[in-house]
Structure 1
Amino acid sequence: MYEFITDKNKVVHAALYVLKRVGKADYHKVFKILYFAEQFHLKLYGRPLTGDAYQAMQFGPVPSFLYDVFKAAEKGISPFDEATSRSGLFAVTREGKTPYVTALQNPDLDELSESDLEVLELSIAENKELKFDELVKKSHDAAWDKSEKNQDIEMSYIDIAQAAGISEEMLAYIGLQAENSSSKLI
């Protein structure tokens, strides 16, 4: 499996950007908008947006580090110092059983490149109006299916890219980018 190093600052600033554009949203909406932005970035530029590890969960892909940050914002504590230190950027409230997150500050646009902003805008435009069930169905793509069938929790960026319909040449390029990024192939 190819791995990328998670850019934790980019993760939180991408989430802040999404929330500033869509307003208060449930975790699910934010996670799916970011997942599809990752796919756009892979397809257009040959590297992920954030490098966050996506977990194949029941209702679709979940970015692992961002989930830890949101849970730390909700509970006020996390076993992960890096998540706790960034959790103050978000407020989490519950409406029934559903947690909603709000940005407490504007994103630092210096943390996001022009290509990052481009794919975030594409994903927001394409996904912000979709309902929960529509996002579940859309995100249960070939990458999610493969992780489910293989009982792998962490989704492969190569599988995520393939689910986006990326060419073989771009897949090879993504593999090289992953190798250069992490110096670790599993």
Structure 2
Amino acid sequence: MMSRNWDTALDAPDVGSMAIRFQTNPHKAVEVIVWFATKRPGIDFHSILKLLFFADKDHLNEWGRPIVGDRYNALQYGPVAQMTYDILKRDPLALEELKTASKDLPFEVQNNYCVYPHRAPDLDRLSETDVDALEAAWERYGHLDFKGRTDESHRHPAYRNAEIAGRQAMHYADFLEGEMANPEVIADLEETGPRLRL
């Protein structure tokens, strides 16, 4: 069976340049989905995907790694973590990556995009700092409506830079802020990112 490589960006970096990449952890993506669905049963795809973006951005800046390590695409309504979205949609290749059947996922989707959990999130798969970042994103952005979430995510340089460059793939280097946004940190993450176990 064919498999999709979520660790390959849709748009390759310029020849001679490197990009920060992480190994996507699909099992953590599932737990993030369940975590948000437990916070608000019936939460929609857009909310989960935008809140994950904000949490990943903050966690990367605080701890030097994202939560899931997903590949982000700049789409019309904001950043989308590709594997997480594919899991929400029950994409067969994403399920193959998880080695699970659709019926065995710990959440269900009703009305095409409303997510309900079947259990609590497995906190053995999420670190304390992961949960702190998810909680902070929830507190800061969880109350926003569709337009508010979209507008807030569109303001971030990672989204704007992809849009200006005419590419879908967002670069993790553009997620970095303050002291983290310096060439030494970026070079270190380019080297170590693919080897980190998320």
Unaligned runs of 5+ in 2: 1-18
Task: Report whether the alignment pairs 1:89 with 2:113.
Answer: no
User: Normalized against structure 2, the TM-score is what?
Assistant: 0.79
Secondary structure class of the residue paired with 2:67: coil
Percent of aligned pairs sharing the same letter: 30
2:167 to 129, 133, 152: 152
1:11 to 8, 13, 29: 29
Instruction: Flag the 1:67–1:122 CA change in 2: closer, same or farther, 3 A.
Output: same
Q: State the Cα distance separating 1:171 from its structure 2 match.
A: 6.4
Instruction: Flag the 1:131–1:89 CA change in 2: closer, same or farther, 3 A.
Output: same
RMSD: 2.0
**In structure 1, what residue type is equivalent to 2:127?**
S
Instruction: Flag the 1:84–1:136 CA change in 2: closer, same or farther, 3 A.
Output: farther
Task: Report whether the alignment pairs 1:30 with 2:42.
Answer: no
Query: Number of residues paired by the alignment?
Result: 173
Q: State the Cα distance separating 1:59 from its structure 2 match.
A: 0.2
Distance in 2, matches of 1:23 and 1:82, equals 26
Q: Conserved in 2, the CA contact under 8 Å of 1:46 and 1:170?
A: no
Distance in 2, matches of 1:128 and 1:114, equals 19
Q: State the Cα distance separating 1:21 from its structure 2 match.
A: 1.5
Q: Conserved in 2, the CA contact under 8 Å of 1:27 and 1:100?
A: yes
Structure richer in helix, relative to its length: 1
Instruction: Flag the 1:121–1:175 CA change in 2: closer, same or farther, 3 A.
Output: farther
Secondary structure class of the residue paired with 1:159: helix
Q: State the Cα distance separating 1:170 from its structure 2 match.
A: 6.5
Query: Residues 1-186 of structure 1 correspond to what in structure 2 (within 5 A)?
Result: 1-72=19-90, 78-80=92-94, 81-82=96-97, 85=100, 87=102, 88-94=105-111, 99-140=113-154, 141-161=156-176, 165-168=177-180, 172-173=184-185, 175-182=187-194
Q: Conserved in 1, the CA contact under 8 Å of 2:173 and 2:181?
A: no
Instruction: Flag the 1:139–1:84 CA change in 2: closer, same or farther, 3 A.
Output: farther
Q: State the Cα distance separating 1:100 from its structure 2 match.
A: 1.1
1:18-59 CA distances to partner (integer Å, 9 max, x unpaired)? 211122211000011111001110121121111011111100
Distance in 1, matches of 2:39 and 2:153, equals 21
Q: State the Cα distance separating 1:178 from its structure 2 match.
A: 4.0
